[in-house]
Amino acid sequence: MNVYCELYSCLVSAEELGKHQLTAVILSGGPNSVYEEGSPHVSKDIWAMLKEREVPILGICYGMQELAYVFGGEVSPGTKREYGKAQVKRIKGCDSQLFEGLPEEAQMWMSHADKLSKVPTGFTKIAGTDNADFVAIENTQTKMYGLQFHPEVTHSPLGPTILKNFVVTIAKAQQDWVMTDYANEFIQDVRQTVGPDGHVIGAVSGGVDSTVAAVLMNKAIGHRFHAVMVDNGCLRKDEAVNVLKRLRDKCGVDLKCVDASDRFLTLLKGVTDPEQKRKIIGGTFIDIFQEESERINEAHGGACDFLLQGTLYPDVIESISYKGPSATIKTHHNVGGLPASMKLKLIEPLRELFKDEVRELGIALGIEADSVWRHPFPGPGLAIRVLGEVTPERVAMLQEADAIMIEELHKSGHYRPIGQAFVVLLPVKSVGVMGDGRTYENVACVRCVETTDYMTADFYHLPYDVMSNMSGRIINEVRGINRLCYDISSKPPATIEWE
């Protein structure tokens, strides 16, 4: 849409928000019930400021319920929860600007338990579903609109049309912001932050996020940026060699690979809790980066006080809770899994971007398509895809299975349409028959999802013949696996990763 926006907590003060020339305000979703004690609410001062300035407002999910809470509507617990796809039907004769260009019925993504039972004063209903009467409301006099569904996610195909209708048609926002502006602003800011002599160490995992972050930092400060890839013993097969070729040889980034596999695997021995795994890995990563920064200081005689990370906005949302207004879903090693004693200061250029925007930024920076469209790979690596205890033997088993799965997706032409694909090694064994003999070996599961924003995802409908080839190859070629499953859950209620 090319419209500039900024993200704020609902706890922002009217004074801070009032510093800006506000074109529109969107109230996001959240996990709370508006009537619960301690639920997040917009302050009276902000409501007064928005009314005085006549700023258009769109409330999404909890944001719509906040409109109801403030302006005399009612929100009630639903008798049936809605998570996933729903058919939203416009009321007869609806000519709302918000729904301009949409058919009478459209698929949208729901994620709610409570629902609107009475529209706020001055509002009218413009759409409903079989489960909820009021899923879209409007007050055209005050330019306030509410949606129970999520138009911003991948699985609301016509959601962008609604958002554009609000932002451009109703709010009259300018469509003049481009990704190169974001890159140029970051380059200027980081040069000022780091100074003319400062050095930055960068965490690189080989995924698109850290690749884009590394190339961006390299453009900002050149040889004073030192990328480090830590081999934690849980990388994909041949990952270290491939990343070195891609980033160092093709992108010109100063990249060093530190083999710390024994160190990580020793610390992970006997650990089965996924949160503990993430924190051990996050803490050890930082220890290594601090050691490397000291080495850089000695070599270059300059202060290496900063750590670059490819944190994305979904990582932040899933890791930080209200009295940040999102529920903590899991700790991300690059958000909530870092030790309080960390000496390095974080630089996170992608922190306010979603995955599709990171890819757009990568293209703007001139990164080759194969790198930009590579599937995400988590910082903790295969440690969170080996469910239960992480051992060298189980990691090696998963590396082989994962390599076969990726190879089959490329061969069949399904890699690019999939948002993320991987294999999980389960802490479960099953009975099998091989060579007329009984086996009792491990179960693995393939997870392929369709998504662009990674906030929601649906399982990818992989053809049976591709599944069959994967299963046959993995079970025959990977010693220790005798059963392969396929994950058909969506996000929500499941997450993309298993841990």
User: DSSP strand E in 4-73: where?
Assistant: 25-27, 57-60
Q: Which of 74-83, 247-256, 407-416, 417-426 has the lowest mean pLDDT?
A: 74-83
Residue from 10, 61, 251, 304 carrying the catalytic annotation: 61
What pLDDT does residue 324 have? 44
Distance (Å, rounded) from C-alpha 154 to C-alpha 394?
A: 34
**Phi then psi dihedrals of residue 488, to 5 deg:** -115, 30
Residue 150 is a catalytic residue: yes
In the block, tokens 């403030």 appear at 70
> What pLDDT score does 302 carry?
65
Q: Which of 103, 170, 101 is nearest to 140 (CA)?
A: 170
Lowest mean pLDDT, pick from 78-82, 206-210, 428-432, 488-492: 78-82
Please give the backbone phi and psi of residue 92, each rounded to the nearest 5 degrees, phi first: -60, 135
- Does residue 343 or residue 33 have the better pLDDT? 33
Q: Which of 319, 318, 310, 317 has the alpha carbon at shortest distance from 361?
A: 310
CA distance 398 to 407: 14
Higher pLDDT, 418 or 2: 418
Residue of 82, 112, 150, 155 marked active site: 150
pLDDT in tens, 336-386: 445 566 677 889 999 888 888 899 999 999 998 888 998 888 878 999 999
Please state, rounded to an integer, the average pLDDT across all residues of the chain. Answer: 89
Give per-residue pLDDT as tens, 186-205: 999 999 999 998 999 988 87
What length does the chain have? 499
Residue 322: what pLDDT? 42
Residue 343: predicted pLDDT = 74
5 is catalytic: no
Q: What is the pLDDT of residues 89-100, one digit of tens each?
A: 999 888 999 999
Annotation says 152 is catalytic: yes
Q: Which of 66, 138, 152, 441 is catalytic?
A: 152
In order, the DSSP letters of 439-477 are EEEEEEEEEEEE-SSSSSBEE----HHHHHHHHHHHHHH
Token pair recorded at residue 403 = 């390599």
Average pLDDT value for residue range 256-272: 95
What average pLDDT does range 280-292 have in this prediction? 88
What is the band of 327 on the pLDDT scale with cuts at 50, 70, 90? very low
Task: Tell me what the mean pLDDT of segment 480-488 comes to.
Answer: 97
pLDDT-based confidence at 53, cuts 50/70/90? Answer: very high
Between 80 and 348, name the one with better pLDDT: 348
Band the pLDDT of 334: cuts 50, 70, 90.
very low
Instruction: Give me the pLDDT at residue 78, please.
Output: 61
Res 50 pLDDT > 70: yes
CB 156 within 8 Å of CB 150? yes
Query: Looking at residue 382, what is its pLDDT?
Result: 95
Mean pLDDT of 124-129: 94
Query: Are 110 and 456 contacting, i.e. CB atoms less than 8 angstroms apart?
Result: no
Contact between residue 78 and residue 47 where contact means Cβ atoms under 8 Å apart: no
Report how far residue 297's alpha carbon sits from residue 389's, in angstroms, rounded to the nearest whole number. 37
- What pTM does this model have? 0.69
| End-to-end Cα spacing for the chain | 34
CA separation, residue 18 to residues 13, 15, 485 (Å): 8, 5, 53
Q: Which string of DSSP letters, residue by residue, matches 248-262? A: IIIT---EEEEE-HH
